[in-house]
Structure 1
Amino acid sequence: MPSVIGLLEAREKGIREEVARLRAALDEAERALQRLVDARVTVTELLTGEPAVAPESALKGAVAGSTVPHRTEGMAVSVLAVDYQHIVGLLESDVGREGMRCQQLAAALGLQVVPAKVEGLRSKAKRLAERGWIRQVRPGVFTALPQNG
């Protein structure tokens, strides 16, 4: 008969695999959405003959659960959901200047430093880095983008 700990570990592994699958599906959906937004901007530019800065929906404040757009010049942090704004703000502050590990980010943001919270934060930080809002200076360490000028 399997042990209770063994059953819990097997269940945990299954849930982690499901979370990874869902994250991959979400990332693919976000990429598809971004391609559609980019296509709409391009078509608008072609039809009007004028450069389109960004779709109107991207200029409004974001809501929780919204996607993270690829950063373009002039795009304000306010287009990000509040959780993402907090991460960028922290990394831009004196505390985050040298770069922070996800455990440090979690603590600084007032989150419990437990695997579930840290992994969720790591996923958000990686998404921000992939889309040009912050940078990953080495594996697991994130910092703000260098200031121009």
Structure 2
Amino acid sequence: MASVLGILEERETAARVRVEGLREEVARLAGVLEAAEIELDRRVIAREELVEALAASAAETTAVTEAEAETVPPSPVPGSIVPPWREGLPVTVLAPDYQRILGVLDERQTAGQGPLKAREITALLGLETTSAKVEGVRSKARRLAERGWLVQETSGAFSAGRRPVAVPDAGSSA
């Protein structure tokens, strides 16, 4: 039979080994924790710097945009969005192709003539009357009519005329 003192000494030695292992593990984890805290601090600083830079940039952009809005109306580009017509909105907010279509129909109305089909508008614009060109003009004229810049007759012809319209999804097509 083993002595009680021998059993206690074995348990004490095992406990010391376990404590030493845990101390080593704690030291290793302390190093990992320190590295993680450093990384966290870097990320917090980076986020704060980014938020500050974006806020400053947004303030500058807003100031520039407000200044531009006060002095010069936006210059439309081909493919830009057709805004819904409203009182006081100039034709110059439209892209050049749309302005030309409106110009043809406005001239026609001024001359006291009736509505035009897409093929006739295409010809008056000086474009070839191929089906692709006619369909392009028809698409633009329909968009103008949907947005209140033109009137589309039941026959499919278009005439000059402005009317306010409610367009819930105006930003979805150019």
TM-score (norm 1): 0.56
**Between Structure 1 and Structure 2, which shows a larger proportion of helix residues?**
2
- Are 2:82 and 1:68 equivalent residues in the alignment? yes
Match of 1:140 in 2: 156
**Counterparts of 2:157 and 2:135 in 1: how far apart (Å)?**
13
Deviations 1:95-120, CA, capped at 9 Å, x for gaps:
68411000000000011101100011
Quick one: distance in 2 between partners of 1:80 and 1:134?
13
Compute the RMSD of aligned alpha carbons.
Answer: 2.2
2:135 maps to 1:93: no
The structure whose Rg is larger is 2
Mapped to 2, the partners of 1:123 and 1:115 lie a distance apart of 12
Distance 1:104 1:134 in 2: 15
Partner-residue secondary structure (3-state), 2:92: helix
Aligned residues: 91
Letter in 1 for 2:123: A
Encode CA deviations 1:119-139: one digit per residue, 9 max, x unaligned.
111100000000010110223
Match of 1:78?
92
Q: State how far apart, in whole Å, the 2-side matches of 1:92 and 1:68 are.
A: 18
Structure 2 spans left out of the alignment, 5+ residues:
1-68, 164-174
Percent of paired sites with the same residue = 47
| Cα drift, residue 72 of structure 1 | 1.1
Compare relative contact order (CA 8 Å, sep 6+) and give the higher one, 1 or 2: 2
Unaligned regions of 5+ residues in structure 1, if any? 1-55
Contact in 2 for aligned 1:102/1:121 (Cα 8 Å)? yes
TM-score, normalised by the number of residues in structure 2: 0.49
What is the identity, as a one-letter code, of the residue corresponding to 1:144?
A
